[in-house]
Amino acid sequence: MQKKRSNDPFWWTLFGAGGTISAFFIPVHVLLFGIAMPLGWISVPDYETLLQLAQHPVTRLYIFALVSLSLFHWAHRFRYTLYDGLMLKHLEHYIFIFCYGSALAGTVITGVLIWTI
Amino acid sequence: MSTRYERYRPTSYHHKMSIFWWVKRKPYMLFIIRELTSIFVAAYAIILIVKLNALKQGAEVWEALLVSLSGPFSVTVHIVVFIFVLFHSITWFKLAPTAMVVKIGKKKIPGSIIIAVNFMMWILLSGGIVWILLQ
Amino acid sequence: METTINLQVLRYIPEKDPDPFYQEYEVPLREEWVILDALNYIKDQIDGTLSYRWSCRMGVCGSCGMMVNEKPILTCETFLEKYMPGPIRIAPLNYFGVIRDLVVETDGFMEKVKRVKPWIIRDKEKAPLEGEYLQTPEELSEYKQYSMCINCMLCYSACPVVGLEPQFIGPAAIALAQRYNYDNRDEGQNQRNDVLLTDDGIFECTLVGECSEVCPKKVDPAGAIQRYKVQGATEWWTSVLLPFGKK
């Protein structure tokens, strides 16, 4: 008897893409916006400049990919952490919907914000 | 299992795995920490969404958000997030060669070079972001 | 007086006690002794009832794998001195049913190995008169590393996913599948994908990476699985984006 092939390759691709983009870009973002600017190590760009930057098509695409893929990266990894680390495999359907559902919701919200900014 | 051997096999003992299996050995502990970095990656994605929203709402909302994000609580949170995402980046790049086999001609590129290239790209891209923002 | 080292060996004697217990033995600490020598000393000199598997004493047969201080190792190639001053805790390999003392059931593992079809599969066999399947050294090097596995099962005992998901096909079997997938004489990858791209297959793996750490033959099953994931993902996207393409 042949078993059905899994759709995990799809989620794993998103996980991998998200892991890569977040590994490359999130640390510098956190360092600049979350630590260096609040502590006054570097000056904060003013509102107009940032808005203009955010409206640039490349930035839009970049932010959208960064946020959405990072969320899917979390969804996949956290799903397995719950299965393995907390032995919650028996709740797999709820975990599946919670993880990828949240990532999808975040993606839609980001998409709308990026589109209308 | 073949039934021929059944009578030589009394009940075998199956050890039950503890829910704290990952506390027992250092590599497992590091593994769980690596997996938990995903929470901090997601947390920063949510912070980015909040910032985008504020940016869209207008200058006043944005300024208000900046003020609330410059308090000691926020900075502490960001430092914690920074440590975990740094751990994510380092472990991610170090594992890159396990999935990637790169060849030039017939020669396999050693894993250490793939790791080094990843780290160099990381530094370059981070530098690029800094350069854009400091313009 | 001779220096000794304390060994705490897990005993399981089903007809006497339904639960395993640790038994302590004092064994001479000799420079050239490996853990297996100490077990043989116990068996010959102290307690003949102790049961364990061993054969070649040189890291080839793969039968003397045990948990030593929580880590799966081949007892024939690990020296007692490494664990000075002791005690050394010896238990049967993790996640396998224990038959007696340090002897574990291998049936589940053997069945998994068989399921990945570890042999050369051809769409059409060549007739003997057409000659042999030739292979260059480069083609050999594609899979040679994965062919070094001695089925010692240490990687299964190092893998928490094997413990958590007993149906997970596991590191050695997947590495063995890759040994044939990367063999240029083989045409059976699609059949192996039917086994390995299901829910019990490669995507259960969360890359703890300990399977490769404990492997005595440097097979790197973790790498084999990661490379398989990339292949599996490519396969999935091709089947979705090119539904009329080749299966």
* Residue B21 pLDDT greater than 70, yes or no: yes
Q: Determine, yes or no, domain membership for C247.
A: no
Q: Which of residues 26-55 of B touch A (CB under 8 A)?
A: 32, 35-36, 38-39, 41-42, 44-49, 51-53, 55
User: Does the beta-carbon distance from A3 to C232 stay under 8 Å?
Assistant: no
Q: Looking at the complex, does the CB of residue C235 fall below 8 Å from at least one CB of chain A?
A: yes
- What pLDDT is attached to residue C32? 94
The residue from C104, C133, C158 where one domain ends is: C104
Q: How many other C-beta atoms lie within 10 A of the C-beta of residue C56?
A: 12
Give the percent of chain B with pLDDT over 90: 76
Domain count, chain C: 2
C121 & C225 share domain: yes
Q: Is B18 on the interface with C (CB under 8 A)?
A: no
Which of B10, B17, B24 minimises the CB distance to C15? B10
Nearest CA in chain A to C204: A80
C158 and C175: one domain?
A: yes
Say yes or no: C120 and C67 in one domain. Answer: no
> Higher confidence at residue B2 or residue C232?
C232
- The residue ranges of chain A whose pLDDT is under 70 are 1
CATH number of the structural domain spanning residue C76: 3.10.20.30
Asked casually if ipTM beats, i.e. exceeds, 0.90, the reply is yes
Pure H helices in chain B: 26-57, 59-69, 72-99, 111-133
Task: Print the domain residue range for C127.
Answer: 107-241
Residues C100 and C122 in one domain: no
Contacts for C34 with CB less than 8 Å, ≥ 6 apart: C75, C76, C77, C78, C79, C80
**What are the pLDDT digits (tens) for B28-37?**
999 999 999 9
Q: Measured between CB atoms, does A8 come within 8 Å of chain C?
A: yes
The 3-state secondary structure of chain C, one letter per residue: CCCEEEEEEEECCCCCCCCCEEEEEEEECCCCCEHHHHHHHHHHHHCCCCCCCCCCCCCCCCCCEEEECCEEEEHHHCEHHHHCCCCEEEECCCCCCEEECCEECCHHHHHHHHHCCCCCCCCCCCCHHHCCCCCCHHHHHHHHHHHHCCCCCHHHHHCHHHHHCCCCCCHHHHHHHHHHHCCCCCCCHHHHHHHHCECCCHHHCCCCCHHHHHCCCCCCHHHHHHHHHHHHHHHHHHHHHCCCCCC
Chains that touch C (3 or more CB pairs under 8 A): A, B
Q: Is B38 on the interface with C (CB under 8 A)?
A: no
Fold (CATH) for A10-39+47-116: 3 helical TM bundles of succinate and fumarate reductases (1.20.1300)
Taking only the tens place, the pLDDT of each residue in C47-65 is 999 999 999 999 999 999 9
> Chains with ≥3 Cβ pairs under 8 A against B?
A, C
Report the residue of B20, B65, B78, B83 to disrupt the A interface, i.e. the one with the largest count of A CBs within 10 Å. Answer: B78
Residues C150 and C62 in one domain: no
Q: Which residues on A lie below 8 Å from C160 (Cβ)?
A: 84
Q: Is residue C154 part of a domain?
A: yes
Candidates B10, B22, B27; nearest CB to C213: B27
Model pLDDT for residues C84-131, shown as the tens digit of each residue: 888 999 999 999 999 999 999 999 999 999 999 999 999 998 899 999
**C246 in a domain, yes or no?**
no
Question: B44–A26: do the CB atoms touch at under 8 Å?
Answer: yes
State pLDDT tens for residues C11-34: 999 888 889 999 999 999 999 999
Q: Which residues of B fall within a CB distance of 8 Å from C71?
A: 25
Residue C245: pLDDT above 80? no
From the list B56, B89, B126, which residue is nearest A117 (CB)?
Answer: B56
Residue B12 has a pLDDT of: 87
Q: Give tens-digit pLDDT for C124-161.
A: 988 999 999 999 999 999 999 999 999 999 999 999 99
- C200–A contact, CB cutoff 8 A: yes
Kindly state whether residues C36 and C124 are assigned to the same domain: no
User: Shortest CA distance to C177 belongs to which of C240, C103, C99, C232?
Assistant: C232
Any A CB within 8 A of B2 CB: no
Per domain, the residue ranges of chain B are 21-99, 100-135
Give domain B21-99's CATH number out of 2.60.120.380, 1.10.357.10, 1.20.1300.10, 3.40.1000.10: 1.20.1300.10
Residue C233 is part of a domain; what is its CATH number? 1.10.1060.10
| Per-residue pLDDT, C144 | 96
- Shared-domain flag, residues C122 and C57: no
pLDDT at B100: 83
Are B126 and A38 within 8 A, CB to CB?
A: no
Inter-chain residue contact C230 with B99, CB threshold 8 Å: yes
User: Does residue B67 belong to the interface with chain A, where contact is any CB pair within 8 Å?
Assistant: no
